Structure 1
Amino acid sequence: MNASRERSAGTTLAETVVGDSGPTVVFCHGLFGRGRNFGSIASALTPHYRSVLLDMPNHGASPWTDRFDYETAAGMVVDHLRSGPASEGPVHLVGHSMGGKIVMTAALMAPELVDHLVVVDIAPTSSAATSEFEHLMDAMLSLDVEHATTRQELDRQMAEEVPEAGLRGFLLQNLRREGDHFAWEPNLTMLHRDIDAVVGDIPHDEGEFDGPVLWVAGSESGYVTEDSEPVMRRLFPRTRKVVVKGSGHWVHSQKPEEFTAVLRGFLAS
């Protein structure tokens, strides 16, 4: 573990609750995200839904693990659901990217906890994103967080490797101030080491989830391909696929109104 931010292992995930009435929707973010990334979507769903925004394992304020695999990550989500959001009945489960693979695995592990499943711009099989994420992790790890005194200084350090200001802002949200310097909240060193598992297949040797599934893809993203459809539809036979035009990988942030409309319609079906 990164010595600057050690945490004990556990299964209680950090959560933020938005709304106090209606069916429960649980949101699971992607790599280097955090629960609050779905805050605007959750607000748009109120007062008809109560939203629970989870920090995934090794992210935000949630526990760290010694290694990454989807069975462990999904198991932690399942444990959290059993003891909290789904303790009185199944919930709607939404996941983007890495979080999408986590919610797919969770639905296969504990289908009784899941009412509707929403998978955002990811497939159950391996993606070709390893080099992209390795590049971003290298850029994050190269920052001198121990000596920088402002986020603007770190933003300037990262600009050459990550020229897109919006993407830099997304990555730098993972910083927290510790005294007079910064530290990374995610378990960055471990995730960098285990990136092949992060972008790899979910466990899918057997079983299926027979509840309704919404599979959302961005038209400009390459994460959902024709090659991944047979496995997706075998594991989730009631899958409905929707492509959001003009969106890349971060569908919920790039096209929030369209995404919310599709989500609301599916959950009400």
Structure 2
Amino acid sequence: MLSVVEYGQGAPLIIVHGLFGSARNWGVIAKRLSDTRRVIAVDMRNHGSSPWAAPHSYDAMAEDLAEVIGAYGGVAEVIGHSMGGKAAMVLALKFPNLVKRLVVADIAPVAYSHTQQGMIDAMRSVDLGAVATRGDADRLLAKVISEQGVRAFLLQSLDVKARAWRLNLDQLEADMAAILGFPDVPGHFDGPVLVLSGAASEYVTREHRPEFKRLFPAARFAKIPGAGHWLHAEKPREFEAACRAFLDAEAQK
């Protein structure tokens, strides 16, 4: 089963990170939401402490998540960001009885044309044999990535002592087309869905709404002002408040 980090008690809420992320990226938000729920943040396959496995497809990731939910009572609320949002959508479409409520953070059920290959190349460029501290790794990574925030995010997946990335870069590279795409999943999920995007992000547009509505008829849409794609990191309190308001309101119906 996937590696997980648990917080709190009560009905389960699964948090699913995006590409190159991990459960630890979500620690602050998970802890805050755990005041009324049992929050389970997962490491997706080929990330963090979870097994390395092929393929890195959304069908496989959805089955991984179904296994986790099965271990926590068989039904859960789910929050998924980016790649994790796509995996959560496929989970809801394939196993609708497992998902009570779904928050999709800044991603649409469509194929994207950009690539994340540059991030893989950047991580591979770091001479891990020359890394004794995280600062060493940051200085090496700075040669190819100028944005400090991006470097800090990637370096959360570096095991400095082991001098190794906690990411299966080879598998992620091999399946990049599938990660950027979205599978053709029959059916639809009729449960409550909040599509929460960053107002400054271009990942979710009005043109995506018909496809959301086809697959998720009850989908509602909201934006966080001033936030980009990494809305949970850029505006954590606003993100938490929006998720809490949606999940709690739906739970009371």
Tell me the TM-score range normalised by the shorter chain: over 0.9
1:34–1:60 CA contact under 8 A, matched in 2: yes
- The reply to whether residue 75 of structure 1 matches residue 75 of structure 2 is no
| TM alignment of 1:68-217, pairs within 5 A | 68-82=56-70, 84-87=71-74, 90-130=75-115, 133-179=116-162, 182-204=163-185, 206-217=186-197
Following the alignment from structure 1 to structure 2, what is the Cα–Cα distance between the partners of residues 123 and 190?
23
Paired residue type of 2:110: T
Query: Which one of the candidate residues 223, 230, 233 is aligned to 1:253?
Result: 233
Moved over 6 A (4+): none
Runs of 5+ unmatched residues, structure 2: none
**Quick one: percent identity of the two aligned structures?**
41
1:212–1:238 CA contact under 8 A, matched in 2: yes
1:116–1:267 CA contact under 8 A, matched in 2: yes
C-alpha displacement of 1:232: 1.2
Following the alignment from structure 1 to structure 2, what is the Cα–Cα distance between the partners of residues 80 and 44?
21
Following the alignment from structure 1 to structure 2, what is the Cα–Cα distance between the partners of residues 165 and 177?
18
Residues 112-121 or 45-54, more deviating: 45-54
- The reply to whether residue 25 of structure 1 matches residue 25 of structure 2 is no
Paired residue type of 1:86: G
Q: 1:51 maps to what in 2? A: 39
- When normalised by structure 2's length, the TM-score is 0.94
Partner-residue secondary structure (3-state), 2:129 = coil
Query: Which one of the candidate residues 211, 216, 219 is aligned to 1:239?
Result: 219
Following the alignment from structure 2 to structure 1, what is the Cα–Cα distance between the partners of residues 154 and 165?
10
Aligned residues: 249
C-alpha displacement of 1:129: 2.6
1:119–1:213 CA contact under 8 A, matched in 2: yes
Query: Which one of the candidate residues 2, 16, 24 is aligned to 2:5?
Result: 16
CA RMSD of aligned residues (A): 1.3
The structure with more helix, counted as a fraction of residues: 2
